[in-house]
């Protein structure tokens, strides 16, 4: 700076700032320009960070602050400074960490782990809808890292064998200097020789059981009880069953997440209710409906219904849904959606009987008025199937014809085809002259 930029202005404070407010302003400015928080502009931020630390070092010292207020920065004062205008051996990152207890991501959080638990181990298991309905115990086997019982987690055959790292002198950090033109910048990095621990184990002194890794792998077994009514996203926690790590005071937890299937067989789950779709014939819907089904707990349930069931009608069976997770004695309902299958065709003779049996639709006043329109004023049309419905109807007709053939004839299929070769099928009018060759018209 060489006195060109006011130190108070650099920290954003006035000349009458108190000691506490000066520290607060320094912390705010240091956080703003810390290189780790400015990855896209690291060089410029690092230079600014150096200036902020130099300003704080001057103003935080009563003697230096008094001299600065009287004379400003004296150029000759920098002759005894270290790299970058700092006193010899001065580390602004270390000073910043010591003042404010270290900041996550700034390389000073190793001590924070000593009173924390290691990260949780997370596992997901898949369960069926019937498992959730009845409840089930699922065995789970996994590998877990524990502290090596031979070296007590130090990684060496003896604690006396552990030495300070000669590269970083046991600090775990190294300072790298880089000169860019007239400026000299420094950066703090983890020591690669000791992986930031500050300690090394000489060759031949590693623990023979863990080979210096400080932890060994063991097999673990737990039983996961899936409670009736368990919902998607539920989890089961087993305390301290995560991996042991040397930098943490305790092991984390094993968290088992439950992935529940929503459908199985004829059932689909919606909250505490079960949904089932049931197809019945038109005759059943008008007279009496009776059917059986097997529930998720293997019980066979019989349903009787005497009243008329309308298309797309839904009905419920109380207490046959899913158990409630909080109170297994309470259950939701089983909701049945009815799909009525109509016949694909109807003979005119039978239609006459239905007209007599079934109630006639009630006509509205406007229907009666339209029916009185003179015949010559009417435009006549007939209904035709849409293309999609027509193709479906043709498939149905072929299936109905096949079913009628199997009911009407007892011969084997080859005997039926023999009637075609002889000139037709007995008992079927209009089919007697089919013995000859058939020509296909190609358009």
The pair of structure tokens assigned to 303 is 């349903």
Task: Determine the straight-line distance between the first and last CA of the chain, rounded to whole angstroms.
Answer: 95
Judged by DSSP in three states, 41 sits in helix
- Predicted confidence at residue 94, as pLDDT, reads 52
- Predicted confidence at residue 432, as pLDDT, reads 41
Q: Rounded to an integer, what distance in angstroms lies between the CA atom of residue 90 and that of residue 84?
A: 10
Lay out the sheet containing 263-264: strands in order across. Answer: 263-264, 267-270, 273-281, 334-341, 314-317
Q: Locate tokens 């000299």: which residue?
A: 184
What are the pLDDT tens digits along the chain (443 aa)?
344 578 888 888 888 888 888 888 888 888 888 777 777 787 788 888 888 888 888 888 888 888 888 777 544 444 344 444 444 444 555 555 555 444 444 444 455 455 588 999 999 999 999 999 999 999 999 999 999 999 988 899 888 888 888 888 888 888 777 767 667 676 788 888 888 888 888 888 899 899 989 999 999 999 999 999 999 989 999 999 999 998 888 899 999 999 998 999 999 999 999 999 999 998 888 888 889 999 999 999 998 898 899 888 899 999 999 999 988 889 999 999 999 998 888 888 888 877 777 777 776 666 666 667 788 877 777 667 676 655 555 555 555 555 554 444 444 444 433 443 444 434 444 444 444 443 333 33
The pair of structure tokens assigned to 33 is 């320009």
Q: Rounded to an integer, what distance in angstroms lies between the CA atom of residue 114 and that of residue 251?
A: 11
Which among 27, 32, 36 has a CA at the least distance from the CA of 189?
Answer: 36
Helix spans in 293-429 (H):
348-357, 365-371, 387-408, 413-422
pTM above 0.75, yes or no: no
The pair of structure tokens assigned to 45 is 């931020």
- Predicted confidence at residue 2, as pLDDT, reads 40
Phi, psi of 250 (to 5 degrees): -150, 160
């Amino acid at each position: 700076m060489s006195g060109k930029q006011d130190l108070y202005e650099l920290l954003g404070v006035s000349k009458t700032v108190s000691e506490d407010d000066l520290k607060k302003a320094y912390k705010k400015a240091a956080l703003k320009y810390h290189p780790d928080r400015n990855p896209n502009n690291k060089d410029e931020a690092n230079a600014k960070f150096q200036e902020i630390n130099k300003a704080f070092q001057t103003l935080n010292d009563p003697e230096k602050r008094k001299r600065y207020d009287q004379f400003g920065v004296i150029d000759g004062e920098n002759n005894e400074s270290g790299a970058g205008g700092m006193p010899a051996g001065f580390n602004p990152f270390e000073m910043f960490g010591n003042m404010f207890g270290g900041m996550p991501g700034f390389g000073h959080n190793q001590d924070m782990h000593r009173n924390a638990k290691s990260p949780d181990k997370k596992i997901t298991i898949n369960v069926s809808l019937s498992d959730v309905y009845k409840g089930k115990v699922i065995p789970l086997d996994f590998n877990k890292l524990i502290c090596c019982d031979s070296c007590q987690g130090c990684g060496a055959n003896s604690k006396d064998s552990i030495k300070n790292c000669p590269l970083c002198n046991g600090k775990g950090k190294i300072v790298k200097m880089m000169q860019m033109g007239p400026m000299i910048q420094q950066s703090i990095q983890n020591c690669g020789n000791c992986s930031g621990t500050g300690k090394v184990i000489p060759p031949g002194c590693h623990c023979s059981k863990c080979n210096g890794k400080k932890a060994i792998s063991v097999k673990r077994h737990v039983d996961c009880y899936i409670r009736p009514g368990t919902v998607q996203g539920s989890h089961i926690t087993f305390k301290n069953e995560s991996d042991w790590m040397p930098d943490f005071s305790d092991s984390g937890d094993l968290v088992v997440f439950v992935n529940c299937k929503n459908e199985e067989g004829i059932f689909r789950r919606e909250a505490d209710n079960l949904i089932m779709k049931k197809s019945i014939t038109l005759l059943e819907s008008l007279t009496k409906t009776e059917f059986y089904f097997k529930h998720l707990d293997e019980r066979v349930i019989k349903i009787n219904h005497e009243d008329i069931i309308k298309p797309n009608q839904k009905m419920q069976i109380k207490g046959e849904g899913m158990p409630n997770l909080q109170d297994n004695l309470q259950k939701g309902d089983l909701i049945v959606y009815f799909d009525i299958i109509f016949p694909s065709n109807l003979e005119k003779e039978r239609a006459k009987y239905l007209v007599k049996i079934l109630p006639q639709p009630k006509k509205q006043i406007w229907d009666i008025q339209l029916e009185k329109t003179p015949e010559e004023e009417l435009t006549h049309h007939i209904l035709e199937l849409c293309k999609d419905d027509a193709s479906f109807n043709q498939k149905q007709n072929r299936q109905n014809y096949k079913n009628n053939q199997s009911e009407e004839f007892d011969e084997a299929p080859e005997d039926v085809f023999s009637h075609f070769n002889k000139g037709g099928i007995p008992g079927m009018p209009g089919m007697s002259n089919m013995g000859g060759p058939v020509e296909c018209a190609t358009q």
